[in-house]
Amino acid sequence: MPRPRQRPVRDRVDDIVRAMGIDGISKSQVSQMAKSFDAQVEAFRSRPLDAGP
């Protein structure tokens, strides 16, 4: 069975941005947001698991 085709990241980010009330976003802005998210995700993933909230 073939995998369902995923929408491009830019389209998905555009949907999220519209939901936040912003009308459209450029490719460079998507790239900047992705870099910021990458850093936040890496910080989350590399945090000590025994540290409390």
Assess if residue 27 is contained within a domain: yes
Kindly report, residue by residue over 32-45, the tens digit of the pLDDT.
877 888 888 899 99
Assess if residue 2 is contained within a domain: no
| 11 phi, psi to nearest 5 deg | -65, -40
Predicted confidence at residue 2, as pLDDT, reads 67
Assess if residue 24 is contained within a domain: yes
pTM of the model: 0.46
Q: Which band of pLDDT confidence, cut at 50, 70 and 90, is reported for residue 4?
A: low
Assess if residue 51 is contained within a domain: no
Q: Do you know the residue count of the chain?
A: 53
Predicted confidence at residue 1, as pLDDT, reads 63
**How does DSSP classify residue 47?**
S
Q: How many domains, the chain?
A: 1
CA distance linking residue 10 with residue 3, whole number of Å: 20
Assess if residue 36 is contained within a domain: yes
Kindly report, residue by residue over 7-26, the tens digit of the pLDDT.
677 677 778 888 888 887 78
Q: What is the domain range of residue 29?
A: 9-45
